[in-house]
Amino acid sequence: MSKITITNPIIWADVPDPSVIRVGSMFYMVSTSMHSMPGCPIMKSPNLKDWEIVNYVFDKLVDNDEHNLIDEKNIYSKGSWAASLRFHNDTFYVCFSSNDTKNFYVYQTKDIENGRWERFVIRGLHHDPSMLFDDGHVYVIHGNGDIRITELTKDATALKPDGINQLLFETEREGIGLRCEGCHAYKLNGYYYLFFIDWPNTGNKRRRQLCYRSKELLGPYEHRVILDNDMDYYNNGVAQGGIVDTKEGEWYAFLFQDHDAVGRIPCVVPVTWSEDWPVFGLDGKVPKAFEARLPEAESKPIVNSDEFEYSENKLALNWQWNHNPDHQLWSLLDRPGFLRLETGYLTNSVEYARNTLTQRTEGPECSGMTLLEMHQMKPGDRAGLVALQHYFGTVGIQVSDNGECYVAMCVRNEDGNEETVESIRYENQQIYLKIDFHFEESKDIATFYYSEDGVSWHQIGQPLHLKYTLDHFMGCRIGLFNYATKEIGGFVDFDYFRYTKS
């Protein structure tokens, strides 16, 4: 087989907590999606380099006020965390915990690319879990610092009443800010291997990758630090993930790196073996580029333009809603060739606007643009484009109490309110809107523009310094929004969303 060149990062966008498996010649991955719906994106790749979104595990996790953004209740930084993907006896499994519902979820399907997933709910949290199938038994290994093992029934649908449920071991405390978590468990070559990350507050003071191993499931376990490297990026360690082999017998680790406002970006790391210990990287470092015996493939976009030309009310898989959508309030068919967003709830901030439709942003630079028609907006309505993080920025149309329209750039201020930075009277019934993003070398700047004709662009407001905070725990997204502050029932039509990256 010919070789390809793999360049890190594999995806310069927010794909956190990746869990990767190989089935036949195809690799599959699931990642954390938190408050974005549908949730738990499934991606596939023939070569660990070129990934495409092929499915989601669920459309919505639960139906309550928090997940529906009702009365400013929300699940920002909660929802599905650190899912584990496994394949056993012709069945695909995804499991994860949700910090807001305090439940552990197991989903199963026979068809990972096109099938629907059957769900099973188990009470209690199993933090950053990894499923392990072993000699007719099913285990979940989970925890933060205090690592536990819990046995499920053979069909992985419930806790096994008389099964193992105990502390497996305790990890280091001294000099550690974040103790071991993010388990990825395997049984290989007569050993049980458990991969974790921790974050020391001494030494290099960055996330690092650890491996615990034992010939017995219940231990004792010995461990090593197997990767402590930042790929020359601001001391942000490349860590958290598991390993996967190729049909040709090569091994790779699939990890991620915190990359500031754009999010947590996945990287591939070569793995060799020495005395049954995995050795990550080349000379202890994550290579920025290397060759692998894997096939060439077509690159598919993770973020994509959309002309909204659909024959059914079903969006492309690149899109996710911010929290659960209200499906009665959006349409691709009411006006063919347009996305219509209707208001149905009152709020004073885009952060709590229902039916905001989002995609990831990508580094090093990218730009999103739309054409908005606002004939049916009502007083108090706001619609446009958002750079969505906790400290968000928007550009769009505001309708005053007397029905006058203004193009405005807004931000979230330190008091938590949406604040208008600049507004300009606007007379037309359609407007072009654009946000440019600059992530290279940790610039993390969004700049906002409007145009009357799509040719001459005018910057508005001020460039926004984007911030990755734990309030959302997610990389910056670009989104289309429409919300009401006074009365519901207005709507806007988006003609298209056009996206470029460099």
Q: Is 68 left (phi over 0), alpha (psi -120 to 50) or beta?
A: alpha
pLDDT at 258: 97
| CB atoms closer than 10 angstroms to residue 445 | 16
The whole-angstrom separation of Cα 298 and Cα 33 is: 25
pLDDT, residue 432, reads 98
C-alpha 256/C-alpha 236 separation (Å) is 10
What number is the average pLDDT over the span 285-314? Answer: 96
User: Looking at residues 79-94, what average pLDDT do you find?
Assistant: 97
CB within 8 A of 370, min separation 6: which ones?
Answer: 384, 385, 432, 433, 434, 480, 494, 495, 496, 497, 498
- Other CB atoms within 10 A of residue 189 CB: 10
Sheet holding 52-58: strands in order across?
19-23, 26-30, 39-45, 52-58
Domain edges within the chain: 4-292, 320-501
Q: Label residue 444 exposed, middle or buried (CB < 10 Å: 0-12, 13-18, 19+).
A: buried
Average pLDDT over residues 66-88: 97
Q: Omega of the bond prior to 364 within 30 degrees of 0, cis? A: yes
pLDDT value at 425 more than 90: yes
pLDDT for 287:
98
The Cα 290–Cα 386 span in angstroms is 37
Strand order in the sheet with 191-200: 176-188, 191-200, 208-214, 222-227
pLDDT digits (tens, 9 = 90+) for 208-223: 999 999 999 999 999 9
**Model pTM score:** 0.97
For residue range 427-473, list pLDDT tens digits in order.
Answer: 999 999 999 999 987 789 999 999 999 999 999 999 999 999 999 99
Rg (CA), the chain: 23
| Burial of 190: CB neighbours in 10 Å, binned 0-12, 13-18, 19+ | exposed
What's the pLDDT score for residue 2? 82
Q: Are 383 and 429 in contact (CB under 8 A)?
A: no
320-501: what fold?
Answer: Jelly Rolls (2.60.120)
The token duo for 464 is: 């926004």
Measured distance CA(396)–CA(393) in Å, rounded: 10
* 1 pLDDT more than 70: no
pLDDT tens-place string over residues 8-38? 999 999 999 999 999 999 999 999 999 999 9
Q: Average pLDDT of 106-118?
A: 97
What would the mean pLDDT of 342-369 be, rounded to a whole number?
Answer: 98
Q: Are 138 and 152 in contact (CB under 8 A)?
A: yes
Has domain 4-292 been given CATH number 2.60.40.10? no
Mean pLDDT, to the nearest integer, of 160-189?
96
The reported pLDDT for the residue numbered 442 is 72
Q: Which residues contact 227 (CB under 8 A, 6 or more apart)?
A: 208, 209, 237, 238, 239, 253, 255, 269, 280, 281, 284, 286
